[in-house]
Structures are given as structure tokens and as C-alpha cells.
């Protein structure tokens, strides 16, 4: 909620007057909510269209891809002249055309590799229009860590499912994954952590009719959630378009699920990641935890170097795991497949202590967790927020 409640102008009172006729409706909650939309494809377009019509003013849109001609059959926000342009930026511009008062920040990025956990923590609710399990699994874990609700949508043919996952309240998305899902997930990454192939995005058969149905349910759930009403928590609304059958599935909690973890204590640092070294952060954590034995844990593993087992040649990388394709593996000198070295954190290595956080291959506005026998503490590198969120960084929780 914002610090001050603004009185809405008369025009706005008129604009939303039909919505206000709903007895429980609170336009102010909609106005002030911060929404992270991941994916600006078929579902993402419909999510954003609904959010704009309802009067949501604070929106971040994450998508890596550019618009292709195939998107035009399922994307209300894109025009033929937009082909080749960023989906996120184009969707943001279209959003502002529908709702000029809105602050919309496009982020052209891969959600798993390029977005800090600060972006998740910024949002009151996360809406996903994703087309692959890997990004959903990442989103699920990030949402749990940062204690944020997320609403998933999935479509294929004329069928679809919408579901709501609340942190701290299993079953979660990972709990719903079966053996086949894990096989598909495992196939993506080779055993040496280099990426086999980019995921075949946009190949799933979908229609604009099913994306509007499922995205409609997702946004409706978001509105209910923001009003504190009961939602499809840990459940899925399934719609089958051929027979117009719909039903709600109950998922079962997996007691061994790795997603069920929420970071307890998060401290927002005013520094930017370019102004903070690992050594400085470890020193600060040791003081705050009152314990010298501190390990800094990154939000994701990074590949720091590839080493040739045959000729010994080394090459430094510092990129997130998943960012290097399999074709990067062979040694440039002798052709042998190199060994991937990864870092999951900082234990005081001298060569890393002077490295600033922006030179690790981690995204801006990320979280770093400090662990010691005395407890744990998480730092959000909030000094990066303006670079990532633009004017939305002024919209405080
Ligand atoms: Zn779970
Ligand atoms: Zn070599």
C-alpha cells in the first residue's frame, strides 16, 4: 500500500464506476498493487490487457523474446509493425496507451538468469504466462523464498489450467511435478551443466480464445487475492474447450519438495552491487550475525571458469549456470571437453574477496544470504532497484 492515499479525479471515478458496483470492490487496492508479469506471449498479452482495463498502475513485464509474425494471431497488444521488437517493451507501450497513468517497466530478460530476487520481492502478486516447466520451477522457488504469491497459467490447444500458489502454504508448483515432468526438466541440462538447447518456445499449439479464458481466471484470482478473498490456493482450475468441461483439481503436498523455503530476515541495502565487494558484505554479515564464520550464498550458481583437463588451459566466465551452451564446452586450444567450475557462494576465498557483486554473473537487485552457526540473514541489494525498476522503484511496499 502506498504511503499516502490519493483522491481519484472525477474522470477516474467514472472510468471504474461499473467495477465499483461490485459490493466488495476496492479500486484503491487495484491502483496501489504492484504486479510482476512474467511472459508477454499469448497468455501475457491477455493478462496485461485485463490488468490495464481494471486500472492496475504498477506493472513490471519480463520477457526475453522479440515479436514474431506467429505472435500476431494471439497477441492483442502487438501490431504487424512491431515484428522484430521486444515483446516486453512493446507490451509496456501498449499498456500505457490503454492506461496513460500507469507506470510500466519492461525488462527484456530471462527470468531465471537475468532477474534478481529483489524483483520478486517488490511485487504484491506475480502473474505468469510461461511456456516451460523450467521457468515455472524457478519462479515457484523464487516466490517461496521472497514470500510472494504467484498465479500460473498454462494452455495447449483449446485446453488450459490456472492455479494459485501461496508461499508457506503447500502444495506448491513443484509438488505437482511428476516423473515425466522431471524427465523433461533434466533433459534441458547436460550432466556437465552446459545447456543442451534453448527451449523450443512458441511451438505449443494455442489459440487466443483459450489464452483469454485462462488469463481471465488468473487475473480474477489476483483481484480476489488482493481483496483477501479465498482463491484457488494449491488447486488448479482446468478448462477443456471441446466439451466446455471445467473442474478444480486438488494437488497433494510432496513432503520432500525442495521449494518449501522462505527467507526469514531480509535487510535492504542502499548500496549498488557495483559498490559492494564480497569481502565487505561478509564483514558486514559477520558483525550483524555476531559470528565470524559466515558463508555468503548466492541466489543461483554461477560458472566462474572452464578448465581443460588435457592441456590445462583456463577461461574465466562468471555467468549464471544455464547461460553457456554445450557448444562452448570444447577447449579452444586442444578441443577436449572442458570441466565446468561453479560457485554457489563465497567462503572467504582471497581472489574473490575484492570482487564487486556486479562482476559475479549475478543479476542486479538480487539477494545474497549470509549463513553462520549463529543464524542467517539475507541482503537485498536494493541500491540496484532504480536501474531495474525505473520510476517503479519509488512505489514502496
Ligand atoms: Zn512443494
Ligand atoms: Zn585443452
State percent of the chain over pLDDT 90. 88
Angstrom distance (rounded) from CA 115 to CA 385:
11
- Following DSSP, what letter does each residue of 41-73 receive, concatenated? SHHHHHHHHHHHHHT--EEEEE--PBP-GGGGG
Among all bound ligands, the one having the nearest atom to the CA of 259 is 1
**Structure confidence at residue 188 as a pLDDT band (50, 70, 90):** confident
Predicted pLDDT of residue 192: 67
How many Cα atoms sit within 13 Å of 73 on the Cβ side?
Answer: 7
CA of 298 to the centre of ligand 1 (A): 21
- Report the separation in Å between the CA atom of 231 and the middle of ligand 1, taken as the mean of its atom positions: 18
Question: Greater confidence, 12 or 163?
Answer: 163
Residue with the bigger pLDDT between 204 and 251: it is: 251
Q: Give the pLDDT confidence score for residue 397 in this predicted structure.
A: 57
Least confident of 12-16, 37-41, 160-164: 12-16
Give me ligand 2 centre to Cα 340, in Å: 13
Q: How far is the CA of 323 from the centre of ligand 2 (A)?
A: 21
**Could you tell me the three cell numbers for 338?**
572442458
Closest ligand relative to 329 C-alpha: 2
Which DSSP string corresponds to 244-272? TEEEEEEP---TT-TT------EEEE-S-
pLDDT tens figures, 275-287: 999 999 999 999 9
> Which DSSP string do the residues of 108-151 spell out, in sequence order?
-S-TTTT--HHHHHH-SEEEE----HHHHHHHHHHHHHTT--EE
pLDDT band at 3 (very low <50, low <70, confident <90, very high): very low
**Is residue 2's pLDDT more than 90?**
no
- Max CA distance (Å), the chain: 74
Q: Average pLDDT, whole number, for the chain? A: 93
Q: Residue 1: what pLDDT?
A: 44
Query: How remote is the CA of residue 198 from the centroid of ligand 2, in Å?
Result: 26
* Residues with Cβ–ion distance below 5 A, ligand 1: 170, 172, 174-175, 257, 259
- Helix or strand run (H / E) with residue 389: helix 385-389
For the segment 120-125, the average pLDDT, to the nearest whole number, is: 98
State the cell numbers at 382.
536494493
Question: Comparing 183-197, 241-255, 348-362, which segment has the lowest mean pLDDT?
Answer: 183-197
Report the range of poorest mean pLDDT among 2-11, 38-47, 125-134, 148-157. Answer: 2-11
pLDDT, tens digit (0-9, with 9 covering 90-100), for 85-96 = 999 999 999 999
From 30, 17, 27, 24, select the one nearest 59 (Cα to Cα): 30
Residue 7 has pLDDT above 70, yes or no: no
Task: Tell me the CA–centroid distance for residue 327 and ligand 2, in Å.
Answer: 15
Q: How confident is the model at residue 189 (pLDDT cuts 50, 70, 90)?
A: low
Closest ligand relative to 315 C-alpha? 2
Mean pLDDT of 4-28: 82
Distance CA(395)–CA(397), nearest Å, equals 7
- Residue 380: closest CA among 53, 66, 118, 81: 118
Rounded to the nearest angstrom, the distance between the alpha carbon of 293 and the centre of ligand 1 is 31
CA of 132 to the centre of ligand 1 (A): 18
What are residue 61's DSSP bridge partners? 37, 106
The ligand with the least distance to the CA atom of 143 is 1
In this structure, the chain runs to a length of 397
Q: Which sign, positive or negative, has the C-alpha torsion 89, 90, 91, 97?
A: positive
Q: What is the pTM of this model?
A: 0.94
Rounded to whole angstroms, the Cα distance separating 102 from 58 reads: 6
- What distance in angstroms lies between residue 81's CA and the mean position of ligand 2's atoms? 47
- Spatial distance between the Cα atoms of 188 and 130, rounded to a whole number of angstroms: 16
CA of 121 to the centre of ligand 1 (A): 19
Say what the pLDDT of residue 11 is: 73
**Which ligand is closest in space to the CA of residue 332?**
2
Q: Can you state the percent helix, strand and coil of the chain, rounding each to 5?
A: 35, 25, 40
For residue 10, the model assigns a pLDDT of 74
Sheet of 159-165, strand order: 103-107, 58-62, 34-38, 125-128, 150-156, 159-165, 235-240, 245-250
Q: Could you report the per-residue pLDDT of 335-390, keeping only the tens digit for each?
A: 999 999 999 999 999 999 999 999 999 999 999 999 999 899 999 999 999 999 99
Closest ligand to the CA of 310: 2
Amino acid at each position: 500500500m502506498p504511503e499516502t492515499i490519493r483522491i481519484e479525479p472525477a474522470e477516474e471515478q467514472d472510468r471504474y464506476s461499473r467495477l465499483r458496483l461490485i459490493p466488495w470492490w476496492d479500486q484503491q487496492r487495484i491502483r496501489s498493487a504492484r504486479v510482476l508479469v512474467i511472459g508477454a506471449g499469448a497468455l501475457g498479452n491477455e493478462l496485461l490487457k485485463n490488468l490495464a482495463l481494471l486500472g492496475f498502475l504498477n506493472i513490471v513485464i519480463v520477457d526475453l523474446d522479440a515479436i514474431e509474425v506467429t505472435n500476431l494471431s494471439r497477441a492483442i497488444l502487438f501490431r504487424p509493425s512491431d515484428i522484430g521488437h521486444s515483446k516486453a517493451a512493446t507490451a509496456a507501450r501498449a499498456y500505457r496507451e490503454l492506461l496513460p497513468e500507469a507506470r510500466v517497466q519492461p525488462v527484456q530478460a530471462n527470468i531465471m538468469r537475468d532477474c534478481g530476487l529483489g524483483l520478486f520481492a517488490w511485487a504484491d502478486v506475480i502473474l505468469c504466462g510461461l511456456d516451460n516447466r523450467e521457468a515455472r520451477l524457478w519462479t515457484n522457488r523464487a516466490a517461496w523464498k521472497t514470500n510472494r504469491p504467484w498465479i500460473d497459467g498454462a494452455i495447449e490447444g483449446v485446453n488450459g489450467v490456472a492455479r494459485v500458489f501461496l508461499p508457506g502454504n503447500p502444495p506448491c508448483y513443484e509438488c505437482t511435478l511428476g516423473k515425466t515432468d522431471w524427465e523433461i526438466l533434466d533433459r534441458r541440462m547436460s550432466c556437465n551443466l552446459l545447456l543442451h538447447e534453448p527451449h523450443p518456445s512458441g511451438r505449443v499449439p494455442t489459440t487466443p480464445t483459450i489464452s483469454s479464458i485462462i488469463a481471465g481466471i488468473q487475473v480474477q484470482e489476483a483481484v480476489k487475492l488482493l481483496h483477501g478473498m479465498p482463491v484457488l490456493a494449491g488447486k488448479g482450475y482446468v478448462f477443456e474447450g471441446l466439451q466446455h468441461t471445467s473442474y478444480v483439481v486438488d494437488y497433494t503436498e510432496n513432503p520432500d519438495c525442495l521449494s518449501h523455503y522462505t527467507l526469514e530476515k531480509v535487510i535492504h541495502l542502499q548500496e549498488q552491487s557495483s559498490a559492494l565487494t564480497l569481502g565487505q558484505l561478509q564483514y558486514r554479515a559477520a558483525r550483524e550475525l555476531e559470528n565470524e564464520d559466515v558463508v555468503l550464498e548466492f541466489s543461483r550458481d554461477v560458472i566462474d571458469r572452464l578448465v581443460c583437463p588435457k592441456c590445462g588451459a583456463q577461461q574465466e566466465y562468471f555467468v549464471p549456470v544455464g547461460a553457456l551452451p554445450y557448444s562452448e564446452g570444447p577447449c579452444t586450444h586442444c578441443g577436449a571437453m572442458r570441466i565446468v567450475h561453479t560457485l554457489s557462494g563465497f567462503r572467504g576465498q582471497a581472489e574473490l574477496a575484492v570482487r564487486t557483486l556486479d562482476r559475479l554473473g549475478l543479476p542486479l537487485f538480487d539477494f545474497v544470504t549470509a549463513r553462520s552457526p549463529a543464524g542467517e540473514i539475507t541482503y537485498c541489494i536494493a541500491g540496484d532497484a532504480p536501474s531495474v525498476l525505473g520510476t517503479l522503484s519509488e512505489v514502496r511496499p
